[in-house]
């Protein structure tokens, strides 16, 4: 659960700027956020808690540090310090944008700001200086392609809960090159998705990350009675506990029943790319049925870590069509490929040919795979999401654009409607308690593909862990060792 941090000392330079514009934190909750020097800060705020004002004040307070730590940048003689305000759409950046313009004007600086936000900008340039000291640009999550061209020194994500995991991953990669900072602010709605999970992961304040709660009643300008304000008490009385905790108290109410509870957006979402010098592993679950997804994951094993760098996640396509889609991807050109498919269905003839026969005839790949017991398979999958107790490195990372897999882990919207969350869950009673020892057999096809690939290549436990199979090509055709082929229940193709 996200917990409120104790008050941190606001740096002297930041405090001086706040004094000049007449800004004062409304209480220890705001002061704790403004005093934190962590690179990554997440704020879950209640309605009307002043999240946007706090976010803009964080930027102002960090500006002196950024000038000091980036020599030759932001001094008027070199390139400007660059910052982004990003929302799911441009309109969500408006409050932070306007607060920053007003603060700079109150400080007496000559500010030039665009009259619109789509996109918008703020520049500060003194008359006798050659270059602007800073530039702030608005960005929209609806246009992820515009998020990869520059390297900002700081980013504010406005209403972070509405931004996709893909956008978060891209923004996270943008500040890596500059060792920049990122502040995420938003109201929790349903406590599902990557943002609430990230807040939970950052709650301890360990390392470079920290999360905070900013309840509605901390805005004493609107609610002078604080927690006991009559309006706060009325909203508590007239709404459900979960609603009040999320929308007013800014607390996450953890969703029940997630199968892979170990998933963390900050740990498992990474900008991973295909390495043409490494073998390619294709792990598949055909997902029979009109409402089921056909999931094909492109995976590489690099440095003791599984890296899911791409996926094909579709409905209504035949196996031949999935193969054609795969063959058009850049990674198909790698000379060493290994396929693992759903062991329960790959050899069954649902039409004229089985899945494994189609892969062999259309792509020259022999489909490996062995039957997996549900309980042990899920437990094995979950071990890969646990960070190493010594190094802190996870056994698996996922590219942020893999929306199908991330949706099953509860971190992204369903890719087929982009409106709702459909994570893989256990069966639940009416009161929300988990019942039985088998999860629901839906919204799980990419996760099942992971299970098949992990168990086939590594076994069920660390004690019996296998090495990833070496797959060679002979005469342009896939080939595997007879021992591996025998274990999988089919002959080797030579």
Q: Is the pLDDT reported for residue 310 higher than 90?
A: yes
Domain boundary among 199, 231, 255: 255
Q: What's the full length of the chain, in residues?
A: 494
The encoded tokens of residue 13 equal 């330079």
Residue 123 shares a structural domain with residue 165: yes
Domain CATH code at residue 124: 3.40.50.300
Domain boundary among 220, 255, 290: 255
Is residue 3 assigned to a domain? no
Residue 223 shares a structural domain with residue 291: no
pTM (global) more than 0.85? no
Does residue 268 or residue 481 have the better pLDDT? 268
Residue 203 shares a structural domain with residue 277: no
Domain CATH code at residue 332: 3.30.420.280
Percentage of the chain surpassing pLDDT 90? 59
Is residue 7 assigned to a domain? no
Is residue 494 assigned to a domain? no
Sheet containing strand 40-45, edge to edge, reads 111-113, 121-124, 134-140, 81-87, 154-158, 181-186, 40-45, 209-214
Is residue 171 assigned to a domain? yes
Residue 198 shares a structural domain with residue 284: no
Using 50, 70 and 90 to split pLDDT, how confident is the model at 184? very high
Domain range holding 19?
12-255
Residue 294 shares a structural domain with residue 250: no
Q: Is the pLDDT reported for residue 340 higher than 90?
A: yes
Whole-number pLDDT of residue 492 = 31
Is residue 29 assigned to a domain? yes
Q: Is the pLDDT reported for residue 255 higher than 60?
A: yes
Using 50, 70 and 90 to split pLDDT, how confident is the model at 399? very high
pLDDT digits (tens, 9 = 90+) for 425-448: 998 877 667 787 889 999 999 999
Whole-number pLDDT of residue 19 = 96
- Among 25, 90, 94, 92, residue whose Cα is nearest residue 61: 25
Residue 337 shares a structural domain with residue 428: yes
**What number of CA atoms fall less than 13 Å from residue 85's CA on the CB side?**
29
Residue 300 shares a structural domain with residue 430: yes
| Mean pLDDT along residues 26-32 | 92
Contact 341, 355 (CB under 8 A): yes
Domain boundary among 200, 226, 255: 255
Residue 39 shares a structural domain with residue 95: yes
| Mean pLDDT along residues 27-56 | 94
- Among 474, 472, 492, 473, residue whose Cα is nearest residue 484: 492
Rounded to 5°, angle at Cα 53 from 148 and 147: 5
Is residue 260 assigned to a domain? no
Residue 38 shares a structural domain with residue 156: yes
pLDDT digits (tens, 9 = 90+) for 297-307: 999 999 889 99
Measure the CA–CA gap between 320 and 359, rounded to whole angstroms. Answer: 8
Using 50, 70 and 90 to split pLDDT, how confident is the model at 251? confident
Whole-number pLDDT of residue 463 = 44
Residue 164 shares a structural domain with residue 243: yes
Taking the CA atoms of 228, 231, 235 and 238 in sequence, report the sign of the dihedral they define: positive
The total number of structural domains that make up the chain: 2
The encoded tokens of residue 212 equal 């905070």
Residue 120 shares a structural domain with residue 162: yes
Using 50, 70 and 90 to split pLDDT, how confident is the model at 352? low
Residue 448 shares a structural domain with residue 395: yes
Is residue 317 assigned to a domain? yes
Is residue 2 assigned to a domain? no
Using left for φ > 0, alpha for ψ between -120 and 50, and beta otherwise, residue 275 falls in beta
């Amino acid at each position: 659960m996200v917990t409120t941090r104790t008050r941190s000392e606001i740096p002297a330079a930041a405090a001086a700027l706040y004094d000049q514009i007449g800004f004062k934190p409304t209480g220890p909750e705001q002061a704790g956020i403004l005093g934190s020097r962590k690179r990554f800060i997440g704020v879950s705020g209640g309605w009307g808690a002043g999240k946007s004002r706090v976010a803009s004040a964080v930027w102002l307070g960090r500006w002196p540090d950024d000038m000091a730590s980036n020599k030759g940048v932001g001094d008027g003689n070199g390139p400007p310090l660059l910052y982004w305000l990003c929302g799911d759409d441009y309109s969500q950046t408006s409050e932070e944008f306007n607060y920053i313009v007003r603060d700079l004007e109150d400080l007496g600086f000559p500010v030039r700001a665009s009259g619109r936000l789509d996109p918008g900008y703020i520049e500060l340039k003194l008359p006798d200086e050659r270059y602007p000291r800073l530039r702030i640009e608005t960005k929209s999550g609806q246009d992820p392609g515009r998020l990869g061209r520059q390297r900002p020194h700081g980013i504010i994500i406005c209403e972070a809960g509405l931004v996709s995991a893909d956008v978060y991953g891209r923004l996270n990669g943008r500040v890596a090159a500059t060792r920049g900072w990122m502040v995420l602010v938003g109201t929790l709605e349903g406590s599902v998705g990557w943002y609430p999970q990230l807040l939970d992961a950052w709650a301890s304040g360990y390392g470079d990350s920290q999360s905070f709660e900013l309840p509605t009643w901390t805005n004493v300008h609107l609610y002078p009675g604080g927690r006991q304000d009559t309006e706060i008490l009325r909203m508590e009385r007239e709404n459900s506990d979960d609603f009040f905790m999320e929308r007013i108290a800014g607390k996450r109410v953890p969703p029940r029943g997630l199968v892979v509870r170990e998933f963390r957006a900050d740990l498992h979402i990474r900008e991973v790319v295909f390495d043409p010098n490494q073998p390619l592993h294709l792990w598949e679950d055909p997902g029979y049925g009109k409402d089921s997804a056909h999931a094909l994951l492109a995976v590489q094993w690099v440095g003791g870590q599984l890296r899911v760098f791409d996926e094909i996640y579709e409905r209504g396509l035949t196996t031949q069509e999935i193969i054609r889609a795969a063959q058009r991807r850049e990674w198909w050109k790698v000379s060493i490929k290994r396929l693992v498919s759903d062991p329960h269905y790959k050899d069954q003839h649902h039409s004229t040919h089985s899945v494994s026969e189609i892969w062999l005839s259309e792509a020259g790949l022999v489909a490996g795979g062995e039957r997996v017991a549900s309980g042990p398979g899920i437990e094995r999958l979950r071990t890969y999401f646990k960070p190493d107790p010594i190094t802190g490195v996870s056994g698996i990372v996922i590219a942020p654009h893999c929306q199908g897999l991330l949706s099953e882990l509860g971190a992204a919207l369903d890719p087929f409607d982009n409106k709702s969350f459909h994570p893989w869950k256990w069966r639940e009673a009416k009161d929300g308690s988990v019942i039985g020892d088998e999860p629901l057999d839906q919204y799980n096809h990419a996760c099942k593909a992971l299970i098949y690939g992990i168990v086939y290549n590594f076994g069920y436990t660390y004690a019996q862990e296998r090495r990833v199979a070496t797959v060679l090509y002979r005469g342009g055709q896939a080939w595997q060792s007879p021992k591996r082929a025998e274990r999988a229940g089919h002959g080797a193709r030579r």
